Amino acid sequence: MSRYRLCPSPAQEAVLREHCAQARYVWNLAVEQQSWWRPGRTSAPGYLEQCRQLTAARAAHDWLRAGSQMVQQQALRDFAQAMVNFFAGTHGRPSWRKAGRDEGFRIVAVKPRHVRRLSRKTGEVWVPKAGWVRFRWSRAVPASRSYRVTRDGAGRWHIAFAAIPEPIPGPGTDCVIGIDRGVAISAAMSTGELLIVTQLSPARQRRLRRLQRKLARAGRGSDRRARVKLAAARLKARETDTRKDWAEQTSTDLARRFDVIRVEDLKICQMTRSAKGTVEAPGRNIRQKSGLNREILRSGWGLLVERLEHKAPGRVERVNPAFTSQRCSACGHVAAESRKSQALFACVACGFKLSADVNAAKNIAAGHAVTARGGFRVAGPVNREPQLALLPA
């Protein structure tokens, strides 16, 4: 995703905020309709039915009619996509959008003539009802047919042009990598390397926690509260930025270095793994998987896999993670006793020793129990060994 700082004039900002409010209103209506649904009732209205309802609502409400139909319709379309993601198990249930948070709208049917460059550092984009809005031309702007405008908690506007990145060719050597989301905010690769989701520096994290405590104490509606809230939102926005950069760089690197990239199937993970423990290893990483770390890991991880699938189409495989932490990657023996501790794996059958996370990553790389879900290529024979450098135990 190519994101740029958008710099609307005060008059344009008012229009953009109106777009956001209407997109949020329509989205929340869709959430409400969905929440009425219970098993046994006729299904909640789908996208087409909702579009008809939107037309009726626009006829009845001046406020909606004055706004952009495209913005409102795309909010419905986004919601429909969110429901598809929810049923696919990769995302949570779409929830209410709050003013001042998750603010944004999408514009489609963008033509090349809707984006133009003014100078080396400045560009302009056509936004319905707002006109030409300037943005910082901080890097090349991809040819794109849609964009999304967002406002973060710190009050900054961004524009993101949706563009599926060009596929990156793999090395062509059939090498396979497996990745196991293990401890805290890192994931282990079957090569023994660690993938660490970038987060705020310890000093900034402390500052963020301090601000959050202050925020809890500050009186509602006070100036102080607004100031503290803005400062906290800026830090959070910075964190989100670094995580997105991390996902871009890491996905490019992995797509270039490996031909097949195997990851845990998130849908199955949700069922077998939780902060409270897993079916196969109760209580693994309880503390690390709870709270802020879990949130960082989850969003960083989801983004990474999404970008990997764009950059390495057909080369990303989702593997059932069951027993990956109990199976010996050297001899294949499965035993809970082999898992000596959170950090160490020592096979009770053959004596093979390895970092527990790397052992799990090797099992994932070997592609055991690859699910056929979503049209991903089914892995080869179960005993096929991944071609990767073995690491010292």
At closest approach, how far in Å is the CB of 355 from Zn ion?
15
- Whole-angstrom distance, CA of residue 377 vs CA of residue 77: 29
Burial class (CB in 10 A: 0-12, 13-18, 19+), 43: exposed
The answer to whether 32 touches 57, Cβ cutoff 8 Å, is: no
Whichever of 47 and 352 has its CB closer to Zn ion, that residue is 352
- Are β-strands 122-127 and 115-117 bridged in parallel, bridged antiparallel, or unpaired? antiparallel
- Whole-angstrom distance, CA of residue 162 vs CA of residue 144: 6
Residue closest to 187 by CA, chosen among 330, 312, 360 = 360
Q: Please report, in angstroms and rounded to a whole number, the separation of the first and last CA atoms in the chain.
A: 39
Number of chain residues interacting with Zn ion (CB under 5 A): 8
Whichever of 21 and 390 has its CB closer to Zn ion, that residue is 390
- CA torsion sign for 181, 183, 184, 186 is negative
Orientation of helix 202-217 relative to helix 223-257, angle to 10°: 150
Q: Which stretch binds Zn ion (CB under 5 A): 25-33, 224-232, 343-351, 361-369?
A: 343-351
At closest approach, how far in Å is the CB of 352 from Zn ion?
4
Whichever of 179 and 328 has its CB closer to Zn ion, that residue is 328
Whichever of 164 and 331 has its CB closer to Zn ion, that residue is 331
336 binds Zn ion (CB under 5 A): no
Whichever of 246 and 323 has its CB closer to Zn ion, that residue is 323
Residue of 31, 163, 237, 349 interacting with Zn ion (CB under 5 A): 349
Locate 161 and state its tokens: 């042009």
Whichever of 250 and 359 has its CB closer to Zn ion, that residue is 359
x/- string (CB under 5 A) for Zn ion, residues 294-333? ----------------------------------x-xx-x
Size (the chain), residues: 393
189 binds Zn ion (CB under 5 A): no
Whichever of 186 and 363 has its CB closer to Zn ion, that residue is 363
350 binds Zn ion (CB under 5 A): yes
At closest approach, how far in Å is the CB of 345 from Zn ion?
9
Residue of 352, 369, 371, 390 interacting with Zn ion (CB under 5 A): 352
The answer to whether 178 touches 316, Cβ cutoff 8 Å, is: no
347 binds Zn ion (CB under 5 A): yes
226 binds Zn ion (CB under 5 A): no
At closest approach, how far in Å is the CB of 280 from Zn ion?
17
| Residue reference for tokens 């190519």 | 2
- Whole-angstrom distance, CA of residue 16 vs CA of residue 28: 18
Residues that bind Zn ion (CB under 5 A): 328, 330-331, 333, 347, 349-350, 352
